[in-house]
Structure formats: structure tokens, C-alpha cells
Amino acid sequence: MKNLIGCSVKDLENLALNHGQAAFRGRQIYSWIYNYRNRSKNIDQINVLPLNFRNQLKKDGFIFGELTLREKSLANDGTLKLLLNTRDNESIECVGIPTEKRLTACLSSQVGCPMDCRFCATGKEGLKRSLTSSEILDQILFIENEMNKKVSNIVFMGMGEPLLNIDELLFSIRSINEDFEISQRKVTVSTVAIPKMIRKLSEKSFQVLGKCQFTLAISLHASNQKIREAIIPSAKNYHIKNIIDDCREFVRKTGRRVSFEYLMLNGVNDKLEQADELTDLIKGFQCHVNLIQYNQIEEVEFKQTTSKNAQLFQTRLSNNGINVSFRKSRGLDRNAACGQLRQNANIK
């Protein structure tokens, strides 16, 4: 099967020409695919095309989208979680997070996740496989179709570790930028950090995209190596100081600041001395800390830090000269919040 999602306008013009059609037929396909108001996911329904052209495309194995909607769940705050089935009967989740001025799509890059972070539901069943760029992009179309609104921001914070699917990730970002017309500056790639892959990400970004302007977000969640290993099993393979060194190099190469995601866990990483330790670790280069409310999952014993401790921690970082913000959870009542996405979830 050859998925048309992710094809550029030039790709589709050439497709039309190769089938004996005028180039504008390719532009018609392009307009159909990336128009969020078109809910149909079937070549037969691209009725602006001649019937014989549609039949030939189908005969040659072209399709428009591979995912199908299995379930959807709308939270009280308007956050929409979608459970989507793949052609090989796997399941992934994505989330649409609306505000008055934007619609953010939280996308998955893999079916499951191999990292098995202790605070996260996604990795509890392990990794099944990585997603193709067309499967990644199709999630955007489903969110736009269901919410009847164009996505304005992208975060790769759904299921999976994006840097273990780096080629398809970058192909997706190219299409997000050029076809969905979303600036790279409105795209965030979140990673738990994989040895040697931060450097590879910046190098391949310049090769594939010509520039590297998206935001890199590191799921740090700790101020020292001991705490990080306690909550992220893979941390033993990548020392926290080496992660920071690679982030400094990323900033030097790209000119883009790095964000550090910091999940606030009661009694684990929320002490003021740990705020000071985090300051010493990351000070001196362009970065920002996102403090995140922990969202409970059944399998682990972690608890949310208190509001008082979170505020004191944020104030200490700010007083230490660190750019810091506190990210509120969205979709919590439908298990759509950070760390709660899971394969084959029952999202009644």
C-alpha cells in the first residue's frame, strides 16, 4: 500500500502526470488531503477526480489514510482523546488539547514504548513497533476532523520514544511544516534522552529539513543521576551530566533553547535542595523548566507533590535565575493527561 498522506504537492503532481492526468489533478488531491473539513478517508470520495483516475489509483495500491477510529473520549475541559487502530490491528492514542487561541495535537510516534519509565502508563506493555510518518500525520487529520478545527501546535508527547523513530519523525515534521503549514517553532519533540541521539537529531534535522527550529524537550524529572535511575530505568545508560552536555551542544548548533520536563513527585524530587541542585546542573545556557503535575496511574506508588511544595520549588528555581513554568494537566478525567496514555486502553 502507498499512503498519500505525507506526499508533497510536487509528489502528487508527478503522481497525476505519471497516470496520464494534468498536474492540477495532483493539486486537487493535495487540497483534499490537507483540508481538515474533509472527513472522508477514501479515494473513492475524492469526487473532484475523474472516476477512471480514482480507479487507477486504487488498482495501483494507493490509499488515503491507514488508521481507523475505534473510540473517542471528551474530557470536561474539552480535551479529546482518540483511540485509533492501525492496519495490523494495533492501537495508538492521540490527544487534541484546545484553548481559545490554539489547538494542540499530542501525537504518538510508536505503538507502545520500550523505555518503561516508572511513572508512565504507556510503557507497561512494552514496544510493539514504530509508526510510519503517514500514521503519525494521520493522527493530526483525525484530531482536526473530530474537533472541526485546524491544529496549530504539535507535541510529540504521546506514546513512544520519538528518537527511536527518528527518520519517520523528521519526515513527519517536514510535512507538518510544509503541508499542514505549521511552523517548526510550534512543534515540540519530547524525549527521555537516548545516548548519541540528541546530536543525531540536530544533524539529521539540517539534512532532512534544512533547518532545526522545533523545540527539544528532555524528560529529565530529576536533579541527579541517582534519582533519575530510580524513576527511569534507561537512565543508567546515559548519565544526567552527559545529557546536559549534549543539550548545550544542541543549543550551540541550532540556536534553539531546550526545555526540561520535570514531573513533580511527592517526596522524591520536590525538595528545595533538589531545586538548587537542578539549578547547578542546567544553569548557563538557553533552557526552560516545565514543572508538571503528576497524574496518577494504578500500577505505581508515586503521589502528586503538594501545591505548596510545587510553588516553593518553582519560586526557588525562579529566584535562582532559571526560566520556569508550571504546566497544568488537561484531560485528567479521561486519562488523557501526561503519562496516562496506554495501548489498548479502555476509554469509556
DSSP codes of every residue in 202-224: HHHHHHHHSS--SEEEEE---SS
> What is the reported pLDDT for 122?
79
- pLDDT of res. 329: 66
Of 66, 93, 161, 168, the active-site residue reads: 93
Which CATH fold would you assign to the domain 68-334? TIM Barrel (3.20.20)
DSSP 8-state assignment for residue 10: H
141: burial class by Cβ within 10 Å (0-12, 13-18, 19+)? buried
Whether 93 is a known active-site residue: answer yes
From 163, 171, 182, 159, select the one nearest 250 (Cα to Cα).
163
Please state, in angstroms and rounded to a whole number, the distance separating the CA atoms of residues 278 and 225: 11
255 CB-contact burial (10 Å; exposed 0-12 / middle 13-18 / buried 19+):
exposed
Where are the CATH 3.20.20.70 domain residues in the chain? 68-334
For residue 307, count other CB atoms closer than 10 A to its CB.
11
Task: Measure CA of the first residue to CA of the last residue in the chain; give whole Å.
Answer: 32
What are 220's three cell numbers?
529529565
**How far is Cα 39 from Cα 141, in angstroms, rounded to an integer?**
8
The CA distance from 320 to 130, in Å, is 40
pLDDT of amino acid 300? 66
Q: Given this model, what pLDDT does residue 302 score?
A: 87
Q: Which residue out of 106, 117, 212, 338 is catalytically annotated? A: 338
Amino acid of residue 126: G
Nearest residue to 248 via CA among 260, 236, 238 = 260
Longest dimension (CA), the chain: 70
Cβ neighbours of 269 (radius 10 Å): 24
Architecture of domain 2-63: Orthogonal Bundle (1.10)
The answer to whether the CB of 84 falls within 8 A of the CB of 139 is yes
User: How far apart are alpha carbons 140 and 158 in whole angstroms?
Assistant: 12
Residues 6+ apart with CB under 8 A from 248: 285
Name, in order, each residue with C-beta under 8 angstroms of 196's C-beta and a sequence gap of 6 or more: none
pLDDT of residue 339: 45
| Residue 344 per-residue DSSP state | T
Take residue 320 and report the three cell numbers written for it.
Answer: 535562582
Any idea what DSSP says for residue 160? S
Long-range contacts of 74-78 (CB under 8 A, 24+ apart): 74/334, 75/330, 75/331, 75/332, 75/333, 75/334, 75/336, 76/333, 77/330, 77/331
The answer to whether 314 and 322 are in contact (CB under 8 A) is: no
C-alpha closest to that of 237 among 201, 196, 207? 196
**185 phi, psi to nearest 5 deg:** -65, -10
The single residue listed with the C-alpha cell 478517508 is 41
**H-helix or E-strand spanning residue 98:** strand 91-98
Which segments of the chain belong to CATH 1.10.150.530?
A: 2-63
What is the pLDDT at residue 298? 66
Residue type, position 189, single letter: V
Residue ranges of the chain with per-residue pLDDT less than 50: 336-337, 339-340, 346-348
Per-residue confidence (pLDDT) for residue 333, from 0 to 100: 52
Give CA–CA dist 50/21, Å, rounded. Answer: 9
Q: In this predicted structure, what is the pLDDT of residue 337?
A: 47
- Residue 287 a catalytic site member: no
